[in-house]
Structure 1
Amino acid sequence: MFEAPIPRSALILGLAGLLPFFWGVVTMFVPAAYALTYEWLGGRFVAPFVGLQYGTIILSFMSGVLWGFATRAEGSVAATGYALSTLPALWAFFMVGGGPVTAAIALIAGFVGLLGLDWLFWNQGLAPRWWMALRLLLTTGVVACLLPVAL
């Protein structure tokens, strides 16, 4: 389905980027991990806050990634790419808020929507050939880690 293997460095760094999401789930279900993390690092680094805060940052970061892909296009394709690239950051800004359940649902929707944008940029040849393989893997991980907060 995909044209090229994911470069090792991109895969390792992408998977490492899942660690804060994963840690949020761990601290939801392992009281000792929650207590120790809370004591050493504070409430921002335990569930649900670590996953929600980090998810908001990463969704916004992905706007910059898409912007970079748009620079590879010209004319109206570039203009459309620039406009579309702002959507993940705007989604995070306007939709992620309220309580943890609402924020987790908004982030899940944002990351699933981002996957559609990823496909669009990839399909136009603006993203690397391996991009969708990586994005499918990482989006699955993000959504799986945010689901316990949303439910």
Structure 2
Amino acid sequence: MQQQADNRTIATAWFLAGLGAVPFVAMALAAAVSPGFAAAHLGGETAFMGYGAVILSFMGGVRWGAALSPTTGPGAERMILSVAPSLAAWLALLIDRPWSLLLLLAGFVLQGLWDVASARNGSLPAWFGRLRLTISAIVAASILLVLLT
């Protein structure tokens, strides 16, 4: 019964992470193919940056929650580091292009690498590392596409 619950949790996480990547991909593709459409109907780069900031902050919150887990040991340092994505996301909203996009890109790449490393060392589940690697690559590619348009 536990294995079935674990499989359901993993499948749900992959599904939700995939849904969370859809706005990145949709807005990036729209910006590349039809900037006018993207600006008029999807909020343009402002919406892209806003969504990126929200999701990067969310990823920091995931790490905050992991730092509170009694199974991973003392978490004060991890709690401090978990605030960095939110601060970087906020700063990205305040600075001009291309630095705003580069800061978001760096935030997602660093967060993804931290998540993968944590999955490899056992402080996060192995499946989570694979999920984060995949989604981080999709988000990074989306940011790069917007950056190049």
The answer, yes or no, to whether TM exceeds 0.5 is yes
Whole-Å separation in 2 of the counterparts to 1:123 and 1:133: 10
Deviations, residues 19-56 of structure 1 (Å, cap 9, x unaligned): 11112122213339816x72xx5xxx333222211110
One-letter code aligned to 2:97:
P
Using the TM superposition, give the Cα deviation of residue 124 of structure 1 relative to its aligned residue in structure 2, in angstroms.
4.5
Extract unaligned runs of 5+ from structure 1.
none
Could you tell me which of 10, 18, 22 is aligned with 1:19? Answer: 22
Residues 68 and 124 (structure 1 numbering): CA distance in 2 closer, same or farther, change over 3 Å?
A: farther
Residues 29 and 95 (structure 1 numbering): CA distance in 2 closer, same or farther, change over 3 Å?
A: closer
Identical-pair percentage: 30
Q: Which residue of 1 aligns with 2:53?
A: 56
Aligned counterparts, 1:1-80, within 5 A? 7-31=10-34, 34=37, 38=40, 45-73=42-70, 77-80=74-77
Deviations, residues 91-145 of structure 1 (Å, cap 9, x unaligned): 2123443223221111000111112321343345332221110000000000100
C-alpha contact 1:25 1:148 (8 A) present in aligned 2: yes
Extract unaligned runs of 5+ from structure 2.
1-5
**Pair 1:111 & 2:108 matched:** yes
Q: Which residue of 1 aligns with 2:119?
A: 122
C-alpha contact 2:57 2:89 (8 A) present in aligned 1: yes
Query: Does the residue aligned with 2:125 lie in a helix, a strand or coil?
Result: coil
Whole-Å separation in 1 of the counterparts to 2:34 and 2:71: 53
One-letter code aligned to 1:25:
A
Residues 122 and 101 (structure 1 numbering): CA distance in 2 closer, same or farther, change over 3 Å?
A: same
One-letter code aligned to 2:81:
L
Residues 119 and 73 (structure 1 numbering): CA distance in 2 closer, same or farther, change over 3 Å?
A: farther
Query: Does the residue aligned with 1:125 lie in a helix, a strand or coil?
Result: coil
Q: Which residue of 2 aligns with 1:133?
A: 130
C-alpha contact 2:21 2:135 (8 A) present in aligned 1: yes
C-alpha contact 1:115 1:139 (8 A) present in aligned 2: yes
- What is the TM-score with the length of structure 2 in the denominator? 0.80
Query: Does the residue aligned with 2:12 lie in a helix, a strand or coil?
Result: helix
Q: Which residue of 2 aligns with 1:99?
A: 96
Query: Does the residue aligned with 1:126 lie in a helix, a strand or coil?
Result: coil
- Number of equivalences: 142
C-alpha contact 2:117 2:129 (8 A) present in aligned 1: no
